[in-house]
Homo-oligomer: A and B are copies of this chain.
Amino acid sequence: MDAAEFRRRGKEMVDYVADYLENIEKRQVYPDVEPGYLRSLIPEEAPEEAESYEDVVKDIERVIMPGVTHWHSPYFYAYFPTANSFPSLLADMLCGAIGCIGFSWAASPACTELETVMLDWLGKMLKLPADFLAGTEGRGGGVIQGTASEATLIALLAARSKIIKLIQADHPDRSETDIISKLVAYSSDQAHSSVERAGLIAGVKMKKIPTDNKFSVRGDALQKVLEEDRAAGLIPFFFCATLGTTPSCAFDCITELGPICNAVEIWMHIDAAYAGSAFICPEFRPLLNGIEFADSFNFNPHKWLLVNFDCSAMWVKKRSDIIGAFKIEPLYLKHDHQESGNHSHWQIPLGRRFRSLKMWFVFRMYGLKGLQAYIRKGSNELNETLLKRINNARNIHLVPCQLAGKFVLRFAVCARTTESRHIQEAWCHISHLASELLQELPH
């Protein structure tokens, strides 16, 4: 395919994308296929000779679409939202064309610098304490991670590295593995599975703090566990607070938890992946009070702020804490401006795409007011055989969660295109199926 053909095919693809998104409501939200459906639809091996673009494109509707769960359908209420907007799609096309690998300043200055400035822009929208901003002289700053799972892991590894150095400064004879064997990290019993997984990867104990009747971790609950663990000879070093848990969007009480962590020098990371976008609205900003006690903070613009996946925003108060944990610099990555930001020291992968372009396009084309208007939408709540009937009927799609041992139906408003009428239709449908179910029950 030469550039001339790309011009033609690219324009056709733009129309296909627009058609898909404009008419997504007409597609069944959850597919009817059974596992293994796709293998029989395509050859067992890659073709020896090149195929035509027409052959490839006609297979999109034949092979791909029958197996797609349409995350951007207004009938999609499962899992969590994933962002999608036209400005973000345009920015991602540009990102693909530039196709730089932004692992250091020299590898593509614009990629590194726009990211730093966009995280400052977004930090200001959230009214983060100035400590978290890079500015021109700040010690903090933000970075785009692929997912919140990576942000939690990075924060945990930085905290692990920091506590080991601190203990070895006083006790140079204590080995790293001996210290790690005593370390203990904490999170809510409602925290996302990725927090437990970060503990497994880092090889440290990860304890779940029991939550109150609002599924929130309170200060006294943490305090109690800290005292027990200290008495048992363990070394508490990391607490991951959640603002907006995956099952029920519960908030840990960071105004109580923060001062406890600060007093005993435990790294407090705040995971607001799901709910964080709401903090750009003044009326929701109080939910972030206590952020001033945190060492690191993360939320996902790719969930609820119109920036396509992947774009998970993470800030730290001291960049040196993160960089110190990972910096390994071979000669082939050295350049004349080493000090000028090297985001690959902030993350697990070395390579990185030019993802800040998506933020730049979206922030400018919506403006803060447009983004706030988008956040201000409503939501809802609902039970077990019912869920199966709802999902088998294929009109809407939901997933369940477990709260204090109860099976709860989660109703998440996900698609950008969801309007009140879709939610009302869904509610009528759920009510109808619930009524049918109740009538079938023995008295």
When chains A and B are docked, how far (Å) is the Cα of A201 from the Cα of B203?
9
- CB-based contact B16/A109 at 8 Å: no
For residue A175, give the distance in angstroms from its CB to the closest CB of chain B: 7
- Pick 28 A–B contacts, CB within 8 A, sort by A: A1-B85, A6-B17, A7-B14, A9-B90, A10-B18, A14-B14, A37-B109, A45-B121, A47-B363, A48-B369, A50-B367, A56-B365, A66-B110, A68-B110, A68-B111, A71-B99, A84-B99, A147-B349, A149-B350, A150-B348, A160-B203, A175-B181, A177-B181, A193-B328, A193-B333, A196-B328, A203-B203, A331-B402
When chains A and B are docked, how far (Å) is the Cα of A120 from the Cα of B443?
55
When chains A and B are docked, how far (Å) is the Cα of A96 from the Cα of B10?
14
B residues near A284, Cβ cutoff 8 Å? none
When chains A and B are docked, how far (Å) is the Cα of A30 from the Cα of B147?
31
For residue A272, give the distance in angstroms from its CB to the closest CB of chain B: 16
Is A232 engaged at the interface, CB distance under 8 Å to the other chain?
no
Residue from A114, A149, A202, A350 with most neighbouring chain B CB atoms (10 Å): A350
B residues near A326, Cβ cutoff 8 Å? 197, 200
B residues near A427, Cβ cutoff 8 Å? none
Is A42 engaged at the interface, CB distance under 8 Å to the other chain?
yes
- CB-based contact A3/B21 at 8 Å: yes
For residue A148, give the distance in angstroms from its CB to the closest CB of chain B: 8
- Copies of this chain per assembly: 2
When chains A and B are docked, how far (Å) is the Cα of A64 from the Cα of B63?
38
> Which residue in B5, B86, B337 is a CB contact (below 8 Å) of A1?
B86
For residue A165, give the distance in angstroms from its CB to the closest CB of chain B: 13
- CB-based contact A203/B180 at 8 Å: yes
Stretch at the interface among A100-108, A207-215, A217-225, A249-257: A100-108
- CB-based contact B410/A332 at 8 Å: yes
For residues 296 through 330 of chain A, which have their beta carbon under 8 Å from a beta carbon of chain B?
A: 302, 308-310, 325-326, 328-330
For residue A189, give the distance in angstroms from its CB to the closest CB of chain B: 12
Chain A contact residue count (CB 8 A cutoff): 152
- CB-based contact A46/B121 at 8 Å: yes
- CB-based contact B136/A39 at 8 Å: yes
B residues near A69, Cβ cutoff 8 Å? 100, 106-109
Is A264 engaged at the interface, CB distance under 8 Å to the other chain?
no
Closest to A105 in B: B35
> Which residue in B42, B50, B124, B193 is a CB contact (below 8 Å) of A45?
B124
B residues near A31, Cβ cutoff 8 Å? 109-110
B residues near A197, Cβ cutoff 8 Å? 326, 328
With A13-B94, A44-B120, A149-B349 already in contact, 8 other A-B pairs whose C-beta atoms are closer than 8 Å:
A16-B94, A36-B340, A49-B367, A50-B367, A51-B365, A67-B109, A68-B109, A332-B401
For residue A86, give the distance in angstroms from its CB to the closest CB of chain B: 4
Q: A18-B10, A150-B348 in contact; A35/B337 too (CB < 8 A)?
A: yes
- CB-based contact A117/B39 at 8 Å: yes
Is A242 engaged at the interface, CB distance under 8 Å to the other chain?
no
Is A393 engaged at the interface, CB distance under 8 Å to the other chain?
no
For residue A321, give the distance in angstroms from its CB to the closest CB of chain B: 15
> Which residue in B48, B93, B109 is a CB contact (below 8 Å) of A17?
B93
Q: A38-B109, A349-B149, A351-B309 in contact; A332/B51 too (CB < 8 A)?
A: no
For residue A30, give the distance in angstroms from its CB to the closest CB of chain B: 8
B residues near A436, Cβ cutoff 8 Å? none
- CB-based contact B47/A353 at 8 Å: no
B residues near A84, Cβ cutoff 8 Å? 96-97, 99
- CB-based contact A331/B400 at 8 Å: yes
- CB-based contact B310/A353 at 8 Å: yes
When chains A and B are docked, how far (Å) is the Cα of A147 from the Cα of B351?
7
For residue A141, give the distance in angstroms from its CB to the closest CB of chain B: 12
B residues near A14, Cβ cutoff 8 Å? 6-7, 10-11, 13-14, 93
B residues near A97, Cβ cutoff 8 Å? 16-17, 20-21, 84, 89
When chains A and B are docked, how far (Å) is the Cα of A103 from the Cα of B364?
31
- CB-based contact B246/A87 at 8 Å: no
